[in-house]
Amino acid sequence: MNIRKDIKVKGKHGRPVLIDTYNISNKGKLPIIIMAHGFKGFKDWGHWHLVAEEFAKAGFFFLKFNFSFNGTTPEDPLNFGDLEAFGMNNYTKEMADIDTVLEWLEENDTGIYDLGNITLIGHSRGGGVSIVKSAEDERIHQLITWAAVEKLGFASYNPDIQKEWKEKGVWYVMNGRTKQEMPLYYQLHEDVLENKERFDVERAAKSFSKPWLLIHGTEDNAVFITAAYKMKEWQPKIRMEIMEGANHVFGGKHPFPSEELPLHSRQLIALCLDFLQ
């Protein structure tokens, strides 16, 4: 297994993007998978490294990365040590980070992987971002979403929260695992308002013309399964797989104490490989 960890790439908004890559073979044109993590997530969360290894064993060049403003630091990518950065994250920056990853692949092409066969996987909020990005970017050829949100924006549906958020300039969300109060500055909502059409997941889904696999668990308490059914309604051509009993992270947790993937993650990978192969 060829694993490269914490490759530091200059981002477009003043903070670096950290990249990990996994592959078995150095010969031939390996299809590329890029994985985008979700809200309060990071590339080294839980069992994502085991998931990456399984895709590499199946013949893919697997790349996972940290969004540059996800709140971790290059020196400590496992912890939220920069909450100021977390608070200044927004969707424009996350879209730009995916551009950075695609450009890094183009600039470092040695013939191992196939730039004509790129799949973007997005988990949770990263799924919503990935839907929009895949719809607009011709470099991305297939899309897979895991427990994806159907709406981008925080409290965009709640005028009372919007009003208080604007007055205070910041809204705090609790990280249930670390017990940190994580700030969201009002600039996030302003970014959504300024890019209302671009960040409209419904619009992107309805116009989507590429292969798309949507996977969602019936026991997801973070993003309810109704999100999956909405997207299937918006875009009937989606291949939708509902996983009975699966939670938001398909059996994973952080830290992950085992070298064996949980059942629902194994099923998740099998569905993805069937779709891709």
What's the pLDDT tens digit per position in 209-264? 999 999 999 999 999 999 999 999 999 999 999 999 999 999 999 999 999 999 99
Q: Does residue 7 surpass a pLDDT of 90? A: yes
- Average pLDDT of the residues in 17-33: 93
Q: Does residue 159 surpass a pLDDT of 90? A: no
Residue 28: predicted pLDDT: 82
Q: Do the bridges between strand 181-185 and strand 170-174 make them parallel or antiparallel, or are there none, so unpaired?
A: antiparallel
For 50, the domain range is 2-152+197-276
Vertex 44, ends 38 and 49: CA angle to 5°? 105
What's the pLDDT tens digit per position in 84-115? 999 999 999 999 999 999 999 999 999 999 99
Residue 191 resides in a domain: no
Residue 68 resides in a domain: yes
Residue 220: predicted pLDDT: 98
Whether residue 136 contacts residue 161, with contact meaning beta carbons closer than 8 Å, is answered with no
- Average pLDDT of the residues in 162-189: 96
Residue 203 resides in a domain: yes
Residue 158: predicted pLDDT: 83
Residue 46 resides in a domain: yes
Q: Which residue has the tokens 């249930």?
A: 176
> Nearest to residue 121, comparing CAs of 143, 141, 99, 100?
143
Q: Does residue 79 surpass a pLDDT of 80? A: yes
Q: Does residue 155 surpass a pLDDT of 80? A: no
Residue 52 resides in a domain: yes
- Kindly report the pTM of this predicted structure: 0.97
Does the N-terminal peptide bond of residue 211 adopt cis geometry, omega within 30 degrees of 0? no
Domain count along the chain = 1
Residue 112 resides in a domain: yes
What CATH number is attached to the domain comprising 18?
3.40.50.1820
Q: What is the DSSP letter of 16?
A: P
> Nearest to residue 108, comparing CAs of 3, 33, 9, 22?
9
Strand blocks (E) in 133-202: 142-146, 170-174, 181-185
**Burial of 94 (C-beta count, 10 Å sphere; 0-12/13-18/19+):** buried
Q: Which amino acid is at 201?
A: V
Residue 115 resides in a domain: yes
What angle, 0 to 180 degrees and rounded to 10, lies between the N-to-C axes of helices 263-276 and 48-57?
40
d(CA 263, CA 190): 41
